[in-house]
A and B are shown apart, each in its own frame.
Chain A
Amino acid sequence: MIRFESVSKKYPDGTLAVDRLELVAPSGEITVLVGPSGCGKTTSLRMINRMIEPTSGRIWLDDRDTATVPTHELRRGIGYVIQHAGLFPHRTVVDNITTVPELLGTDKKQARRRALELMERVGLPAHFAKRYPAQLSGGQQQRVGVARALAADPPVMLMDEPFSAVDPVVRAQLQNEFLRLQGELGKTIVFVTHDIDEAIKLGDRVAVLQVGGHLAQLAPPAELLSDPADTFVAGFVGRDRGYRALGFAEAGLLPVRKEHAVRLGSGRGEAHDAAEDGWVLVTDAEDRPQGWLRTDRLAEAEPTGPVTAPELNLGGTLASETATLREALDSALSSPSGRGVIVDGAGRLLGTVTASEVLTRIEQQRAAADPPFTGDVGPGGAESEAS
């Protein structure tokens, strides 16, 4: 547990970066500090490992006052991941990862074995060990950065915008793997980001900071979306927060309707007969949905022959039967036929739902739950992936 006790940071020029911050980051949870630039989120993070010294107040690491621990000793016990990874260019990947164990005097062989194990954990192939950071992509460097922070198995990790320097696709991938990793490791993590979506996706609890270093709200993400403390938080969380809040509400058993699907490669006539409103769902041999086929134009192009993959419309997303309301609604809205595809855990077709059916479910849940309607947030909280 990390506890800020009335912590302030005032710079010599008079700027108040952090103003009497009171904050608890519980053990084993991800606490996200989020806010616009100049809100003191990075300053707050860096005060934990004393890269910046607080002007007043105390920061407790469990029952230790961090001010009483020599800085290098304190920092060796805290994992530290920064925006551009900050890997040592002159050292190989494995040597980068063993930095802290080396400082702590751990046996070299043991440290290397652990480094290789960590590389596997963060999704780096073992033959990367002998490479230099300049030979890696940004995403790969950040994986090494995470492995390096984990090398000495610190109970606490500080992460300062670790994923913001990579492209959106890699970022989403790193975020998902980060959540999986945290599920296995259960570290006490303080995570800084300026991206509210990232905060909501990753945080068990989100602290919204306001310029000048005020804590505006500290709450689980669902509560942040449904019940912002003030206009600043409401504005920062964003316009479509109602829709995003659906990402925390499980859809439960949706009234799935049977969908007449055809297999890839079956005849066009069959597809035409199975179609409803001019669209037919096409699956592979294992009943996994592949895409939608528009049947009213089939005859014009090529009247006979089998249904082929390139003809399919791939516009719709899939929602699993354990999906959140957001995923179910998105599946319906994105489907060209207006029918959202629901699949089981193995990706096999269960049936379809329409947007109005999902909306009915939302209304029902609203009516049933004591306000706010997000009261039925699952223990996992975060969005489950449709894959």
Chain B
Amino acid sequence: MIAWLNDPGNWTAPGGIFDQLWSHLQYALIALVVAAALALPVGLLIGHAGRGRWLVTVANAVRALPVVGLLILLYVMLAPHIHGRGDTVYLLPTEIVLILLAIPPILASTVAGVENVDPAVRDAAAGMGMRGGQVVRRVELPNALPLVFSGVRSATLQVIATATVAAYLGLGGLGRFVYDGQASQNFAERDAGALLVALLAVAADLVLALAQRYTVSRGVSGRFPRRTLVGDPVATADAPPSTHTA
């Protein structure tokens, strides 16, 4: 496996590691962007209105479907309706499967994030004259962000891992090495493919962790410089007033 990875030809050749890494990333990104674009606003709305929680349950139930089975089913159903050349006929079922996989964690954690916002905070926001949309954008989303991120990160891990099945329908991606290696009994290639998928998932998670650090307010994440909490002279601002006695 190490030898296979150490062969520069395996990296740069057409259809080599660089090409497939890029394809893999593309499949995953498309699915994540579409899933987030759907689940985030819907999740914010459900959390804000406190209605429609059944959608979360439905989304979670969809996760129970077997990925490869669903992929083949979608392919069989969609193929007669898609004409012309190109990969669309393979890409569409793949992306649908990945999107269905990515929606539940993002949706559930967004709803939970909004529901966890202190009721007093939401009451104050409305009571000061914010409209519904302003409450969502200015108060609920920023405070739900840590949970939203955890949903997106968990979706990212799953989507990158599962994007391997794209190769099952003859598309590219790192799954190519896994399926081809298996078929040709080139186990070094197969194992290297699996390792690369895992590394890509970890790398993507690190990028998101970094993004989380810079977008979540310190007031929410609680990352304060130590000195403002310990031995703070101003903490005595509410100290009891001196009592006058005689």
Can you list, as one digit per residue, whether each of B124-156 has a CB less than 8 Å from chain A (1) or not (0)?
A: 111111110010001100110000000000000
Separation in Å of the B76 CB from the closest CB of chain A?
48
Complex CA–CA separation, A51 to B120 (angstroms): 13
Q: Which residues of A contact B229 (CB under 8 A)?
A: 135
Q: Assuming A51-B123, A74-B129, A75-B129, is B218 touching A132 (CB within 8 A)?
A: yes
Q: Which residue of B lies closest to A51 (CB)?
A: B127
| Interface residues of chain A: helix, strand, loop or mixed (majority) | mixed
Interface majority SS on B: helix, strand, loop or mixed? Answer: helix
- Residues on B with beta carbons closer than 8 Å to the beta carbon of A139: 237-238
With a cutoff of 8 Å between Cβ atoms, the chain A residues found around residue B118 in the complex are: 84, 86, 89
List residues of A (46-79) whose CB comes within 8 Å of B's CBs: 49, 51, 71-77
Task: Give the size range of B's interface with the partner.
Answer: 35 or more
- Shortest beta-carbon distance from A330 to chain B in Å: 12
| Cβ B245 vs Cβ A318 within 8 A | yes
Q: Which segment, of B36-44, B60-68, B161-169, B219-227, faces chain A?
A: B219-227
Interface: B246 (CB within 8 A) = yes
A381, CB-defined interface residue at 8 Å? no
> Which residues in window 37-72 of B have CB below 8 A to A?
none
Nearest B residue to A91 via CB reads: B219
Total interface residues in chain A, CB < 8 Å: 60
| Residue A254 CB within 8 A of the other chain | no
A75 to B219, CA, bound (A): 26
Beyond A89-B121, A99-B128, A317-B246, whether A128 also contacts B224 by CB under 8 A is: no
The reply to whether the CB of A129 lies closer than 8 angstroms to some CB of chain B is: no
Identify the closest chain A residue to B241 (Cβ). A173
CB distance from B159 to the nearest CB of A (A): 28
Residue of A72, A80, A316, A343 touching B124 (CB-CB under 8 A): A80
Residues of A within 8 A of B (CB): 49, 51, 71-77, 80, 82-92, 99-100, 103, 123-125, 127-128, 131-135, 137, 139-140, 145, 148-149, 158, 169-170, 173, 281, 289-292, 314-318, 335, 341, 343, 347, 386-387
